[in-house]
Amino acid sequence: METILADLFTLAKYAHDQGLVDEHGWKWAKKLYKNPKKYIRMAKIFKSQDMKARFKVGVEVPRSFEDAARIDK
């Protein structure tokens, strides 16, 4: 997860340096470059969320392919 975030920040910095942040498809880089602490905090929150089985309308919702195969058995 940390590697992915580092790559996103590197890419956002590159986009900012090259003036791509106003181009279509690069607007995310402008937001990320402007406030990187917000995205680090969001990533930590997402990573810390409990990934146990959850139920929706009484049916277990799978969290991965392996989990779906287990439920199907």
pLDDT digit string (tens) for 50-72? 655 588 888 888 888 998 999 89
Using CA atoms, how far apart are residues 7 and 5, in angstroms rounded to an integer? 5
pTM: 0.47
Contact 18, 10 (CB under 8 A): no
In whole angstroms, give the CA distance from residue 25 to residue 9.
Answer: 16
Q: Please state, as a whole number, how many other Cβ atoms lie within 10 Å of the Cβ of residue 42.
A: 10
**Section 36-59 average pLDDT:** 74
